Structure 1
């Protein structure tokens, strides 16, 4: 018997249609000015469970599963465009509008942060404030990875390959593949209780093709979209806060400068936290988000 999936305590769950053939699973709680929280890899909206509960004291908080993840729809990829960050950003804006919010603050972690940045670039009139947890912009990430230091991102290169091989390899041992990242990136393993870790693995097991398509898009269409914005001088107009681990001198030495090139109104902090910072240090993340919202 399949276990009951955990949820965010005190939040209601809805399915909201955001595009043709795409409905998102979303947890909604609290009241006040809206904040949308986008999860990373290899997680679901549950990664925000502590942060969302705190913010819900004075904000309406929306925590969706991205398309292709969790309990949201997982359409077949079409020409490498179904899982672009541009498509997912449009989902996010459509979700907020469907729930009555034309303007909202937006925070994202990892993959969700890339979606959040694309939403800020494509929909600047909708996003009032933008928070990013532990990632570089897509194009900058590809520029930074080089030589043996790129081994840290082996999964980026694996899932960038043409359809077929990545899905076959990952699908043959999904728990080992996705569990590798949950174990490697968690500085405090107790921040991922057994039931949450199991929920993440179940969700990933059911989403191998769409997760691969999400990563494949970042190596192709997403990088092209960033390249076009960079050439056109398109920047993030809203206040932006970035919390980032120290990834070492080869990867992090110019992280703040790279972010500032995209976000003139920037607060960048290098933090002594693990990758899963919203689960390992939710109070620090909430503090940063509240300071951003006050700007």
Structure 2
């Protein structure tokens, strides 16, 4: 299994037909699920999780398609809607499906209601869980991301070059997978280098673990991103039209993207969340590794609301 979070028990939990998630669990008290981003695994939460396990039951899974969790083919199943029914035109890596995984994981571990925090891709899964499963999510934190629909709205012109990977992996199946598989360490390592405010926050052995995991998951990682250019946009657009909002306390922590890309991130999040605490932070993208004590404190403040 590779690197582990010290002091955490590891479990393999079935969450859907043919799909089990690898999850690290520790602590006691009110449950908190932490979802990782790209190009990482649950290990990105190692410092924060250990801190919060002092007074919470902390669950750190690898998302479907990542790390040691199962990686079904992109067309393997339909997505579950907000009521648990399936959309016939869904994709296995729609955030709706991945959010349903997390709710099923928590329930399998004995938690019908839980707090949820996600970073990057995991934040998109957390956002979708908050919309689709409001009775299950008590508190929600999203780190350094915009909701999918808003992200595509602001990516335009030359500034969109920073998100070239979004466009690459949105292409039809075949070419993106072959291109990335030809030099996976260069591709995934590029983002570990570019997005780190403090490169020392990701030590060599953790970087190696991330690259090993990504190298083994190219098709599913591409499928995750491809879904965000298709079915995920459809789901967000339908929710916006219907006026669905996040009703639980929400904390969003972001770098100052707006200064570079010319938009008001806080206003975008206010359009989705009734009870929002939006904070601009001075860390790099990998903030849970660069400033774990601060991130743990932000999450404790959220859980106290």
Provide the TM-score with structure 1 as the length reference. 0.98
Q: Mean Cα displacement is larger for which, 70-79 or 215-224?
A: 70-79
SS in 2 for 1:264: strand
Who is 2:277 aligned against?
A: 267
Distance (Å, rounded) in 2 between the aligned partners of 1:155 and 1:238? 32
Shift of 1:5: 1.0
Structure 1: runs of 5 or more not aligned? none
Shift of 1:248: 4.4
SS in 2 for 1:288: helix
Kept in 2: contact 1:83–1:214 (CA 8 A): yes
Q: Does residue 40 in structure 1 map to residue 37 in structure 2? A: yes
Distance (Å, rounded) in 1 between the aligned partners of 2:22 and 2:279? 31
Kept in 1: contact 2:258–2:265 (CA 8 A): no
Who is 2:299 aligned against?
A: 289
Who is 2:192 aligned against?
A: 182
Q: Among residues 192, 209, 215, which one is paired with 2:225 in the alignment?
A: 215
Deviation readout 1:200-247 (Å, 9 max, x if unpaired): 000000000000000000000000000000000000000000000012
Q: Among residues 181, 191, 205, which one is paired with 1:195 in the alignment?
A: 205
Q: Among residues 80, 84, 88, which one is paired with 2:94 in the alignment?
A: 84
Deviation readout 1:102-127 (Å, 9 max, x if unpaired): 00000000000000000000000000
Structure 2: runs of 5 or more not aligned? 76-88
Shift of 1:249: 2.3
Distance (Å, rounded) in 1 between the aligned partners of 2:159 and 2:4? 37
Dislocated runs of 4+, deviation >3 Å: none
Kept in 2: contact 1:80–1:213 (CA 8 A): no
Distance (Å, rounded) in 2 between the aligned partners of 1:14 and 1:253? 41
Q: Does residue 67 in structure 1 map to residue 64 in structure 2? A: yes
Shift of 1:70: 0.1
RMSD after superposition: 0.9
Distance (Å, rounded) in 2 between the aligned partners of 1:14 and 1:272? 35
Shift of 1:252: 5.7
Provide the TM-score with structure 2 as the length reference. 0.94
SS in 2 for 1:28: strand
Distance (Å, rounded) in 1 between the aligned partners of 2:31 and 2:64? 20
